[in-house]
Structure 1
Amino acid sequence: MSQLFNNYLDGFLTYLQIEKHYSSYTVQFYRYDIEEFFKFTAEQNLNSLEDIEYLDVRLYLTDLYERKMSRAAVARRLSSLRSFYRFLSKENVVAVNPFSFVQPPKEAKRLPSFFYEEEMEKLFAECEGSDKPLAVRDRALLELLYATGIRVSECSGIKLSDIDFDLSVLLVRGKGNKERYVPFGYFAHEAAQEYIATARSFLVKDTEPHPFLFVNHRGKPLTPRGIRYVLNKLMEKASLTRKIHPHMLRHTFATHLLNNGADLRTVQELLGHEHLSSTQVYTHVTKEHLRKTYLSHHPRA
């Protein structure tokens, strides 16, 4: 594509960062998806943005499926390209968005994995009984993640000023910099206060001052990758065979709330979901949990 195309692409990516508040990581995916499509169109001798038609999009989809690309990956590419052409339409660069006529492939529904309460007890037990700074930090980290259901990326961004211990409420900055308040209970309250008073002050004593709550062994802010590493180590110590993934404690938080009678709208607000449909998946988890419990315990199941 021409320099003009590169200018439009740069303008679109800037729009995503400035107007939509997308992370640099997400923007990189958009760039990759769009550039991959236009490499394909160049091979088809389609060298202008206005040349792309619905049939060209269908041909591209056929190519993706022949390369055994997953439905989730195909859906993401379509979403990226549809957004790009929507931007071009608003800028009066193209008259028609050829991607608006294409339906994304339906994804196979997979229920989110979560920890049972007995497994959570094993994880918490691994954090007890030690006053070493990193052990105290790990206890506060686990308690806060389970108490609030926040994302790992949100957790790494928590600042000391975001915690209100008087009200036991946490200010969370979610996707698109949207803010929400999430309450937390007694155990998280006690663990966080102990961590701040003892372990954090010890870990950051030789580093440049910074406002972030959770820190690594060098006193620097703990990254999402670092949090996942900590959680996986706790899993190993607790002899739990599963590997933890970034949202597993979040899924556990939502599932346990619903299992214990919380209403769906409240869970939606606590999780920071924009649409209720995103939260409804957890009702399927709780139904499956009830079914397995019934089959395991009813004498004539």
Structure 2
Amino acid sequence: MDEAPAALRDAATAWLHHLQVERGVSANTLAAYRRDVTRYLAFLSADGVTSPDGIEEKHVEAFLRHLREGDAEHKPLAASSAARTLVAVRGFHTFTSLETGSDDAAADVAPPTPARKLPKAIPVSDVERLLEATGGEGHPGGLRDRALLEVLYGVGARVSELVGLDVDDVDLTTKSVRLFGKGSKERIVPLGSYATDALTAYLTRERPRFVQKGKGTPAVFLNQRGSRLTRQSVFDVIRRSAETAGLTGEISPHTLRHSFATHLLEGGADVRVVQELLGHASVTTTQIYTMVSVQQLRETFAAAHPRAR
């Protein structure tokens, strides 16, 4: 972004500052928007645009085509990734338009329509195998890993919400946790008995040993040096457990979140209840999980009914 013309650079900096200070977006979201707008400014600069008031709808459309086609430095983006990048571009133009009173060059540019993909979920039996593979108290960090996975699956937490969890956010008496989602939105999610038992065992028998090796942190999940566990460490825990359990295919923290939602809906939970538990701003986002059950019904019907084909 530093190489862009000053007027473009200043406008982008003001927008990012607005997102951070006034909108309170997370550090990860802010970093993603910074990458997107940096690429956008580089494209505009190469096209001879030097200031926000020189940007026209044709420039935004050309940038979108550029994202889909790629170049020597960037691979072509899938429709979903290009659409996400366009969200940043449109946010930048909306802010600039409101600040300067200029026309919004991106207002009428439609994002590419991504192929609708079903969320990846694993069967309950595979979740149980994954949980058992942590090893428990007999393995270094076993109680932590078991509690970590029980919470991920038990409350449908995002990985960022999990690593950001502090001790004061856990209430074992009421069996609930307080999570801070996107935009620092707070929600209270109930803990099941398995997650409660696993957390209790970790907090009382293993976390105190980790705390003694660190400098003091309120984080629930610690590494063996006493520091807050990182997102990458969570991925590593899942990878090791999946290998031990003999599970194939990609399994990530988001896989457990998807499985949480899918299994709730299969059990008869209302989609709006699942929306609240997941922390989705719109029920539309949650409704994609209902397609999983429908797809499974179709597959069962096709395999079992004599007149299905």
Which of 293, 298, 301 is equivalent to 1:291? 298
Which residue number corresponds to residue 28 of structure 1? 31
Q: Secondary structure at the match of 2:188?
A: strand
Which of 185, 193, 199 is equivalent to 1:186? 193
Q: Does 1:154 pair with 2:157?
A: no
Which of 137, 152, 164 is equivalent to 1:145? 152
Q: Does 1:59 pair with 2:62?
A: yes
Written as runs of structure 1 = structure 2, the 5 A alignment for 1:60-139 is 60-67=63-70, 68-92=76-100, 95-128=102-135, 130-139=137-146
Q: Does 1:267 pair with 2:286?
A: no
Shift of 1:291: 2.6
Label 1:43 to 1:133 Cα distance change in 2 as closer, same or farther (>3 A).
closer
Q: Deviations over 1:96-125 (max 9, x none)?
A: 011001000111111111110111121122
Shift of 1:259: 0.6
Check the 8 A contact 2:26/2:184 in 1, yes or no: no
Shift of 1:299: 6.2
Which of 232, 235, 244 is equivalent to 1:225? 232
Give 1:66's aligned amino acid: E
Check the 8 A contact 2:60/2:106 in 1, yes or no: yes
Label 1:97 to 1:126 Cα distance change in 2 as closer, same or farther (>3 A).
same
Q: Secondary structure at the match of 1:182?
A: strand
Stretch moving more, 177-186 or 4-13: 4-13
Give 1:225's aligned amino acid: Q
Q: Deviations over 1:193-238 (max 9, x none)?
A: 0100101111221211111001112221111111111011000000
Label 1:133 to 1:299 Cα distance change in 2 as closer, same or farther (>3 A).
farther
d(CA) in 2 for partners of 1:76, 1:14: 20
Which of 9, 13, 22 is equivalent to 2:12? 9
Check the 8 A contact 1:200/1:215 in 2, yes or no: yes
Check the 8 A contact 2:7/2:52 in 1, yes or no: no
d(CA) in 1 for partners of 2:83, 2:161: 25
Label 1:296 to 1:142 Cα distance change in 2 as closer, same or farther (>3 A).
farther
Check the 8 A contact 1:74/1:105 in 2, yes or no: yes
Q: Secondary structure at the match of 2:133?
A: helix
Which of 43, 54, 64 is equivalent to 2:46? 43
Give 2:250's aligned amino acid: K
Q: Secondary structure at the match of 1:172?
A: strand
d(CA) in 1 for partners of 2:152, 2:49: 49
Shift of 1:180: 0.3
Q: Structure 2: state its 5+ residue gaps.
A: 71-75
Give 2:99's aligned amino acid: E
Q: CA RMSD in A?
A: 1.7
Check the 8 A contact 2:121/2:258 in 1, yes or no: yes
Shift of 1:295: 4.0
Shift of 1:66: 2.9
Check the 8 A contact 2:161/2:179 in 1, yes or no: yes
Alignment identity in percent?
A: 38
Q: Deviations over 1:28-47 (max 9, x none)?
A: 22222223222222222222
Give 1:6's aligned amino acid: R
Shift of 1:53: 1.2
d(CA) in 2 for partners of 1:31, 1:282: 30
d(CA) in 1 for partners of 2:208, 2:22: 38
Q: Secondary structure at the match of 2:118?
A: coil
Q: How many positions carry a matched residue from both structures?
A: 300
TM-score normalised over the length of structure 2: 0.91
Check the 8 A contact 1:160/1:211 in 2, yes or no: yes
TM-score normalised over the length of structure 1: 0.94
Q: Structure 1: state its 5+ residue gaps.
A: none
Which residue number corresponds to residue 73 of structure 2? none
